[in-house]
Chain A
Amino acid sequence: MSWHQTPIALMAKALAAKEVSSTELTKYFLDRIEAGKHWNAYLDVSAHLSLEQASKADQIISSGKAGKLTGIPVAHKDVFVTRGWKSTAASKMLEGYLSPFDATVVSNLGIPDELNPNGAGMVCLGKTNMDEFAMGSSNENSAYGPVLNPWNSEYVAGGSSGGSAAAVAAGLAPIATGTDTGGSIRQPAAFCGLTGIKPSYGRVSRYGMIAYASSLDQAGPMGKTAEDCALLLTAMSSHDSRDSTSLADSGEDYGRYLTQSWKEGSSNPAKPLEGLRVGLPKEFFADGLAPEVANAVNAAAKALQDLGAKLLEVSLPKTKLSIPVYYVLAPAEASSNLSRFDGVRYGHRANEYRDLSDMYKKSRTEGFGAEVKRRILVGTYVLCHGYYDAYYLQAQKIRRIIAADFQAAFEKCDVILGPVAPDVAWRLGEKSKDPVQMYLEDIYTLSTNLAGLPAMSVPCGFNTSNLPIGMQLIGNYFSEARLLQVAHQYQQNSDWHLRQASEVA
């Protein structure tokens, strides 16, 4: 059985019907991880820990107490701290770091125990590679080497959740967790032909997520289908009193609309999306968008129209400004968050130093990579006395305009449709010399993080070099279940998400 091609929704049925055990599934994926090391998708794998969890999952299944996800393997982005597996955020700074606790996302999905009686019963396969501290758009900033794209190993997998994306696309995990600060779930999902969703800010607890930019970071699932993402997101999200930004009513069944018509009571099976208004922001289809991507996204819009949706033009006038606003706010928050890495309580400490302040400096200088240092420098500068008003406060004010622009658009439409990125994956090394050029690649994803809106990436085609193209669906606050419904209806009528890379056996 090709379990690596099986969506977790079907895997759950096979487990419930005892066609396969969690131990068999876990071994299957551990073998594939071993054979697929060249993608560099994983940073830490510990077979005996995974198999121990699988055996517990099998016990839960035989006791008849299994939930929807019990026994299904999952890979976690290395930004989530885990007991057992090392947690490094792909940085030398945290090399070998072992967390004394699990992130809430990890415990919500994991095997239930006395501390965590409501765990979904999934088996951790290991920790996936990422851009260092989640800073990057190509997964070339990992201290442990770049992740290769399973569709073509000369290309980047996308960042910063590139390891999670490559793991699922190469069949080294059936589903994975990611985090999205400026597009880090959606862009690698698009580059690797996956479905991924960044929920509304506050839906998923950030407790135990190694922080990059706290007002933007949000975790979400990356999988093969919208249905799989709905299953994982339902289990991931919960109110968490340990995260002061966690929303009170985060727990809901995000898959409840999947098979329903958009309009309640509508009975035309050929037009399940009748009544849905899809807004196409004109700024998302302007200069800079690769024609092949534009064609694929326009074809997807036409496909939604064929399913009954109405297309209309909307405007998000400050789209271009989301880049400078993001690259002021995110580094500012990062410079503050990363000040905790001082070589005292955990993390790298330099071998030689003169005094305490020299120890801080040398430890941080040796531990952080180039992109992290660059963002810390930018963040420190914009927070300096004298520049604070012109940069940081101005960016926060424009952030309010960007959030308000979305609300104006949502008066006209129910969901917004556009590309995820201006182009498909690029060649390894092609853009790493020019960081600002790389920042421009985030133009369509950043604004939803600034506003805190849910958004997802759905496979919608390939370019002539057979590299995947993703479309982006953006919804209003707390409309994840509706976004997943639109994506699911699209996937019931398309096969882009089912295609396998030829390099993946």
Chain B
Amino acid sequence: MKLDDVQRIAHLSSLELSQAEAEAVLPQLQAVFALVEEMQAVDTSGLAPLAHPILFLRDLAQPLRNDAVTETDHRAENMQSAPAMQDGYFLVPRVIE
């Protein structure tokens, strides 16, 4: 991993890093990836990835709920922590000129 990579993934993560911050975090990320490299030696051919522990228990049925509306309107409560709102809508910077 190089400094350019740090700035590229920061951009993809919607995070801003100053040059000094990127330089400071680079060796930490390199240390993490050095640790992660240990995985590469493991032979995993023929193995299916396990995304979720419940998938390991194949016989365990996951219940599905009925396809029915259960929630009522909580608009005011749901908007009480909005950083900016007007007339019941979230306000964001103008995106269309």
Name A residues whose Cβ lies closer than 8 Å to a Cβ of B.
Answer: 96-98, 100-101, 201-202, 215, 239, 241, 244-245, 247-248, 318, 320-321, 323-325, 327-328, 335, 339, 342-349, 353, 355-357, 359-362, 364-365, 368, 373-374, 376-378, 380-382, 384, 390-391, 393-401, 403, 434-436, 439, 450-453, 477
Across the interface, name the chain B residue whose C-beta is closest to A365: B16
Task: Give the chain B neighbours of A384 by CB distance below 8 A.
Answer: 9, 12
Given A355-B95, A368-B15, 4 other A-B residues pairs in contact with their CB atoms under 8 A: A97-B81, A241-B65, A398-B42, A400-B47
Task: Give the chain B neighbours of A359 by CB distance below 8 A.
Answer: 92-93
Task: Give the chain B neighbours of A215 by CB distance below 8 A.
Answer: 51-53
Contact B50–A342 (Cβ < 8 Å):
no
B 1-26 to A, binary, CB cutoff 8 A, 1 in contact else 0: 10001100110111111000000010
Task: Give the chain A neighbours of B6 by CB distance below 8 A.
Answer: 377
- A318 to B38 CA separation, bound complex (whole angstroms): 11
Partner of A401, one of B10, B38, B47, B60: B47
- A353 to B78 CA separation, bound complex (whole angstroms): 25
- A30 to B92 CA separation, bound complex (whole angstroms): 41
Contact A327–B62 (Cβ < 8 Å):
no
Known contacts A327-B32, A390-B40, A451-B56: does B14 contact A360 (CB below 8 Å)? yes
Partner of B28, one of A342, A374, A380, A397: A374
Smallest beta-carbon distance A89→chain B, Å? 13
Across the interface, name the chain A residue whose C-beta is closest to B66: A241
Task: Give the chain A neighbours of B79 by CB distance below 8 A.
Answer: 345
Task: Give the chain B neighbours of A382 by CB distance below 8 A.
Answer: 36
Known contacts A327-B32, A391-B36: does B15 contact A377 (CB below 8 Å)? yes
Task: Give the chain B neighbours of A241 by CB distance below 8 A.
Answer: 63, 65
Contact B52–A381 (Cβ < 8 Å):
no
Partner of A400, one of B9, B14, B49: B49
Query: Could you write out 9 A-B pairs with CB less than 8 Å apart?
Result: A374-B28, A380-B9, A380-B13, A382-B36, A396-B49, A397-B42, A399-B50, A401-B44, A436-B32
Known contacts A356-B92, A381-B5, A384-B9: does B38 contact A452 (CB below 8 Å)? no
Known contacts A357-B14, A364-B15, A381-B5: does B83 contact A394 (CB below 8 Å)? no
Contact B48–A397 (Cβ < 8 Å):
yes
Contact A394–B44 (Cβ < 8 Å):
yes
Contact A201–B54 (Cβ < 8 Å):
yes
Main secondary structure, interface of B, reads loop
Across the interface, name the chain A residue whose C-beta is closest to B34: A436
Question: Counting chain B CB atoms within 10 Å of each CB, which of A318, A323, A344 scores highest?
Answer: A344
Query: Lowest 8 CB-CB distances: which A-B pairs, in order?
Result: A452-B53, A396-B49, A100-B77, A349-B83, A397-B44, A400-B50, A241-B65, A346-B81
Task: Give the chain B neighbours of A390 by CB distance below 8 A.
Answer: 40
Task: Give the chain B neighbours of A348 by CB distance below 8 A.
Answer: 83
| CB under 8 Å from chain A, chain B span 46-97 | 47-54, 56-57, 60-63, 65, 74, 77-84, 90, 92-93, 95
Across the interface, name the chain B residue whose C-beta is closest to A83: B77
Smallest beta-carbon distance A316→chain B, Å? 14
Task: Give the chain A neighbours of B32 by CB distance below 8 A.
Answer: 327, 374, 378, 435-436, 439
Smallest beta-carbon distance A103→chain B, Å? 15
Task: Give the chain B neighbours of A439 by CB distance below 8 A.
Answer: 32, 35
- A83 to B74 CA separation, bound complex (whole angstroms): 14
Across the interface, name the chain A residue whose C-beta is closest to B91: A344
| B contact residues, range | 35 or more
Contact A377–B39 (Cβ < 8 Å):
no
Contact B53–A403 (Cβ < 8 Å):
yes
Contact A381–B35 (Cβ < 8 Å):
no
Contact B35–A324 (Cβ < 8 Å):
yes
Partner of B60, one of A96, A247, A324, A399: A247
Task: Give the chain B neighbours of A347 by CB distance below 8 A.
Answer: 81, 83
Across the interface, name the chain A residue whose C-beta is closest to B53: A452
Smallest beta-carbon distance B42→chain A, Å? 6
- A343 to B85 CA separation, bound complex (whole angstroms): 12
Contact B93–A356 (Cβ < 8 Å):
yes
Task: Give the chain A neighbours of B78 by CB distance below 8 A.
Answer: 100, 345
Task: Give the chain B neighbours of A355 by CB distance below 8 A.
Answer: 93, 95
Contact B12–A403 (Cβ < 8 Å):
no
Partner of A100, one of B14, B48, B80, B95: B80
Across the interface, name the chain B residue whose C-beta is closest to A323: B35
- A93 to B41 CA separation, bound complex (whole angstroms): 39
- A373 to B25 CA separation, bound complex (whole angstroms): 10
Contact B39–A395 (Cβ < 8 Å):
yes
Across the interface, name the chain A residue whose C-beta is closest to B52: A215
Across the interface, name the chain A residue whose C-beta is closest to B31: A436
Known contacts A324-B35, A377-B13: does B42 contact A399 (CB below 8 Å)? no
Contact A239–B49 (Cβ < 8 Å):
no
- A342 to B90 CA separation, bound complex (whole angstroms): 12
- A339 to B38 CA separation, bound complex (whole angstroms): 28
- A247 to B60 CA separation, bound complex (whole angstroms): 9
Task: Give the chain B neighbours of A451 by CB distance below 8 A.
Answer: 53, 56
Contact B14–A327 (Cβ < 8 Å):
no
Contact B47–A321 (Cβ < 8 Å):
no
Contact A362–B16 (Cβ < 8 Å):
yes
- A98 to B39 CA separation, bound complex (whole angstroms): 42
Known contacts A100-B78, A324-B35, A361-B14: does B60 contact A398 (CB below 8 Å)? no
